[in-house]
Amino acid sequence: MGSVLALSSGPGHQNWPFSTDRPPSRWDAHPAHWDSPPRWERRDGRLPNPGSFHSLHRSCKDVFPQQIEGVKMIVNKTLSSFFKISHALHLSAVSPSYYRFHVEHLQSDDYSKDKDAPALIGEMDSSGSLNAHALLNLTERVRARTVFQTQQSQFVTWQFETEYRGNDFTAAVTVANPDVLRESVILVAHFLQSVTSELVLGGELVYHRGRAEEGGILTLAGQYSRPNWVATLNAGKGGAHASYYHRANKQIQVGVEFEASTRTQETTTSFGYQMELPEANMVFRGMINSRCIIGGILEKRLTPLPATLIMGAFVNHRGDKLQVGLGINVG
């Protein structure tokens, strides 16, 4: 989920990719294994578990290229079967440059769907900001997650999430930034139900209470899936988010997103695609949206070296802006 404070904000691409804000941490959202349907999903004709609410648009979003600007280098190192670290250095002329240290302590138990599921995650950058996650599988069906984030010496996020996965439904409750002295809290409830093997319906309720204001936002969600495509819609008081994902073949995937925000009174339509070239060890992702932004990312595996070269460029024709990036991921 990352920070639950962003749940009631506008569409995620409104200021992307030409925002001066620092890009989020690579684990600022749920890890893929956290959102995926559990391994005990029924295969006997009964309705499957719908997975997590946060993963409804994941198939489409994974097709779009991620912003890259300046020069970035990431070095990953596996110290043991339970311990991984990484170093990230980002040099930029647009946003502040930084160094980031990332560490993961992995778990391996009977309830983990992934033998490399992170249990404890920590990250600190050169400004002194700290992010810490704890992901715990309490039982086969119950999982808990705790998040703490600081901006230098200031606490900005502390949230606690519990999720229960039934045979054909998922329910989750999150408590974010509870403060007794300021009498403020954010509560988020999610529920997803598999109606048929293809159709999933559910909703999200965000409630915020503070000294100066109090309110809630209800969002309804639905997803229809077929073997080669997925259509998803979220709609509520805060706006609407619709996406369509289609896998044309083993090499080509496409996605279309429509996002509308009642807060900013803006709408954005985006088209993205991904092309894989296994023979060349290359993956290309491109996008174009209604705000006249065109971008692309090329990832090249430098075989036999354990490294991936990343090159990207984004052009905002309406704002006459250009961002170019180069990165390398080692390990």
**pLDDT 10s digits, 203-218:** 999 999 988 888 999 9
For residue range 126-181, what is the model confidence (pLDDT) as tens digits?
A: 999 999 999 988 888 999 999 999 998 888 999 999 999 999 999 999 999 998 88
* Residue bearing tokens 């409104």: 14
Confidence of residue 265 (pLDDT cuts 50, 70, 90): very high
The answer on pLDDT for 202 being more than 70 is: yes
Q: Is the dihedral of CA 211, 262, 58, 227 positive or negative?
A: positive
Report the distance separating Cα 36 and Cα 49, nearest Å: 10
Q: pLDDT, tens digit, for every residue of 30-86?
A: 544 445 544 344 456 689 999 999 999 999 999 999 988 999 999 999 998 889 999
pLDDT at 5: 41
Confidence of residue 244 (pLDDT cuts 50, 70, 90): very high
In this predicted structure, the answer to whether residue 238 has a pLDDT above a threshold of 50 is yes
Residue-level pLDDT at 119 = 86
pLDDT at 236 over 70: yes
**3-state secondary structure (DSSP) of residue 291:** coil
pLDDT at 211: 82
**Residue 19 pLDDT:** 53
Alpha-carbon distances of 320 from 242, 317, 323, rounded to whole Å: 28, 5, 10
Burial 187-218 (b: 16+ CB within 10 A, else e): bbebbbbbeeeeebbbbbebebeeeeeeeebe
Mean pLDDT of the region 2-14: 42
Q: How sure is the predictor about 117, in pLDDT bands with cuts at 50, 70 and 90?
A: low
CA 311, CA 309: separation in Å to the nearest integer? 7
Give me the residue label for tokens 């502040």. Answer: 96
Structure confidence at residue 228 (pLDDT): 95
What pLDDT was estimated at residue 29? 47
Report the pLDDT value the prediction gives residue 43, as an integer from 0 to 100.
Answer: 53
Which range is least confidently modeled, 6-10, 80-84, 229-233, 247-251?
6-10
| Cβ neighbours of residue 120 closer than 8 Å, sequence gap 6 or more | 104, 105, 132, 133, 134, 135
Phi first, then psi, for residue 106 (nearest 5°) are -95, 160
- Better-predicted residue by pLDDT, 261 or 118: 261
Query: 187 Cβ partners below 8 Å, 6+ apart?
Result: 173, 174, 175, 176, 205, 206, 207, 208
| Tokens, residue 34 | 């956290």
Q: How far is CA 115 from CA 118, 119, 122, in A?
A: 9, 11, 19
Torsion from C-alpha of 29, 34, 37, 40, nearest 10 degrees:
180
At residue 44, the pLDDT reads 61
